[in-house]
Amino acid sequence: MSARAKNALRRRARVAVVSGLAFLAALVTFVLIPRRASNVATAVEARIPDRPDSQPTLNARIGALATIATSDSTLGLTRRQAAQALARSVDTLPFYLIPKRDSLIARVAFLGRLIERGQSTPLPSSYRALGSSPELRAAPIVQSLLDSLGVIERERETFGALGGADPLAIALSARSNSIGRSLVAIAVSRRNELRAELQPLLPPRAAPVAATPVADTMVVHQQRNEAIGILNAANTALTGIRARNREIDGLSAQARQIANVDAPPWAMLASALVIALALGFAVSLLAEIRNPHIADVREAEQTAGTRVLTVVDPYEQIGERTRRQADVAAPPIIDVISDTYRTLYLHLSSLDAPVGSVTITGDDMDIASAVAVNVAAIAAYEARSTLVIDGDPETCGVAGALRLLPDPGLTAVLAGTVVLSDAIVFTTIGRDQMLAVLPSGKRAGQPTAQNVAKMRADLDRVSSRYDMIVLAAPLAQTKQGVASIVPSTDVILCARMARTPLRELSNAVETLRGAGMRVHGLVLWNIEPPQLRTRDELLAAAKRPPREAELEPVG
């Protein structure tokens, strides 16, 4: 999916067209919606009722609260006056006896909790915890009772869970409870002893003070009750008013929300732009998913079943190379600096049996012609005599790339009007590298079998003069046969990244292999298509006088 998304982003024209249409549609929609929203907001505002007046209810509530506060203050003062005041007792216990008193208080409290547990939960575990407490375990009788309790528990366990109905089990339970009650009685006696020991250490109680007579508070109570009734009624009324106000607030918020549809112009533009870009990308991605194109080298190799020999990527021009006359006059499509075409040439020349002639084809003849010219140029730079043949009179790609006249060319040789040696022209690549070129010529009728056979014989004859022959031919003409001039079965297929469908690439490879051709590999074009001169531009340029190239000053 990432490959499909990458190809979708590369289809800038499609994304731009769809995004532009979506942008206009979104703007029109954003302009029409606020007009409709204004009418709806006006209708909603007309249905909003007036808010109820809550000021009288609030005043009544405030008055009731004030009355209640006054009554509570009066009643509190009266209660304080009527209460029996107690004198504060003074603790006269010496400081060295205070720890003893605190310890006795803690022991009494702990023993009380155990006694309460034994009384509320008459179980052997409760009695055992009571007897094992520090206050009782030192007593010999307590140890005897605990031993008896342990013996009873062991005998009781022999009956298991179903021994509840057995008379002996019942007797054991009764005996256990009797021992527990004895332990509780001993603990109560011990607690009483501790309390008796604690009593002298407690501070004395203060003597009560006689209460003074107070006034009657019945009237105050009556006023307070009436104020509470008024307060409850006011609270109920305020609850209803608040609920009504919430309904009104909801209607007002709805009206404001509808009215706020009329967004600022910059917001509408930004929203329309986001929608347009998203829709443009979605449409481009959908089209790419329905008809996937080449996204990367791995995908091309998996689809074609052959390897990618080179990828034509953008390259930077070297400034020093544009100062020489030969470099300035050279066609801009020729690239002998980067390793792109050198890698392709080395593949053809470094095999066990070097390729003497190769056909370069593809769905775009401008790209195939550019690749063929650059392979031939690299061969010329390697001091190999090279002949490049343009087999497509429709585009005249080789002549357009090298800026040569397309006539008379291959079609004239096939028509029998020109011999092959006269149709071949020579051009300079760089300073002194010569390149032989057979242009395509002008489209003519179907050549006869005799002329085709003669052309093949001439090619076989002149092939001994050249170390490499490069033919740029359309995909439909790349085949071996009586009516074909393809010099050998060696083929290199050109495809364009993000433009050549995977289905067409697979069909092209199958067609070539079905025609008996040997596909060496693929050349992936990953830049903008070459801008080659057309036939009319070449003929018009030949009529103009040549201009001297302007050189940049050195230094």
| 167-171, 359-363, 390-394, 550-554 — most confident range | 359-363
Task: Output the pTM of the full model.
Answer: 0.56
Report yes or no: 466 and 460 within 8 Å, Cβ to Cβ.
no
| 81-95, 267-281, 327-341, 395-409 — most confident range | 395-409
Which residues lie closer than 8 Å to 254 by C-beta, 6 or more apart? 44
DSSP H helices in 260-391:
265-290, 297-304, 325-329, 340-349, 365-381
How many residues does the structure list for the chain? 555
pLDDT tens column, 330-360: 678 888 888 888 888 888 887 666 778 899 9
pLDDT band at residue 552 under the 50/70/90 scheme: very low
Mean pLDDT throughout 43-50?
A: 70
What integer pLDDT is reported at residue 549 of this predicted model?
Answer: 45
Q: What percent of the chain has pLDDT over 90?
A: 10
Decide: residue 91, CB within 10 A, 0-12 exposed, 13-18 middle, 19+ buried.
exposed
Mean pLDDT throughout 487-513?
A: 90
Report yes or no: 375 and 310 within 8 Å, Cβ to Cβ.
no
Q: Is the pLDDT of residue 376 over 80?
A: yes
What integer pLDDT is reported at residue 361 of this predicted model?
Answer: 93
pLDDT band at residue 19 under the 50/70/90 scheme: confident
- State the number of CA atoms in the 13 A half-sphere of 120 facing the CB: 6
pLDDT tens column, 430-477: 777 888 999 988 877 677 778 888 888 888 888 888 888 999 998 888
Q: Tokens for 37?
A: 């929203």
pLDDT band at residue 182 under the 50/70/90 scheme: confident
Task: Report the greatest alpha carbon distance in the chain.
Answer: 150
What does the CA dihedral 332, 336, 338, 344 come to, rounded to 10 degrees?
A: 110
Q: Is the pLDDT of residue 509 over 80?
A: yes
What integer pLDDT is reported at residue 553 of this predicted model?
Answer: 45
pLDDT band at residue 110 under the 50/70/90 scheme: confident
What integer pLDDT is reported at residue 197 of this predicted model?
Answer: 85
- State the number of CA atoms in the 13 A half-sphere of 148 facing the CB: 19
| C-alpha closest to that of 359 among 205, 218, 201, 468 | 468
Number of Cβ within 10 Å of residue 186's Cβ equals: 18
Backbone φ, ψ for residue 353 (5° rounding): -120, 95
Q: Tokens for 379?
A: 């061969």
Q: What percent of the chain has pLDDT over 70?
A: 81
pLDDT band at residue 91 under the 50/70/90 scheme: low
Q: Where are any strands of DSSP class E within 355-422? A: 357-362, 386-390
Q: Is the pLDDT of residue 324 over 70?
A: no
- Kindly report the three-state secondary structure assignment for every residue of 245-271: HHHHHHHHHHHHHHHCCCCCHHHHHHH
- Measured CA to CA, the distance from residue 116 to residue 257 in angstroms comes to 68
What integer pLDDT is reported at residue 551 of this predicted model?
Answer: 43
DSSP H helices in 199-291:
218-259, 265-290
Q: Where are the domains of the chain?
A: 2-51+260-290, 95-201, 297-543
What integer pLDDT is reported at residue 494 of this predicted model?
Answer: 94
- Measured CA to CA, the distance from residue 222 to residue 224 in angstroms comes to 5
What integer pLDDT is reported at residue 40 of this predicted model?
Answer: 62
Superfamily of domain 297-543: P-loop containing nucleotide triphosphate hydrolases (3.40.50.300)
pLDDT band at residue 495 under the 50/70/90 scheme: very high
pLDDT band at residue 311 under the 50/70/90 scheme: very high
Helical (H) or strand (E) element with 31: helix 12-46
Mean pLDDT throughout 44-62?
A: 80
pLDDT tens column, 128-145: 888 888 888 888 888 888
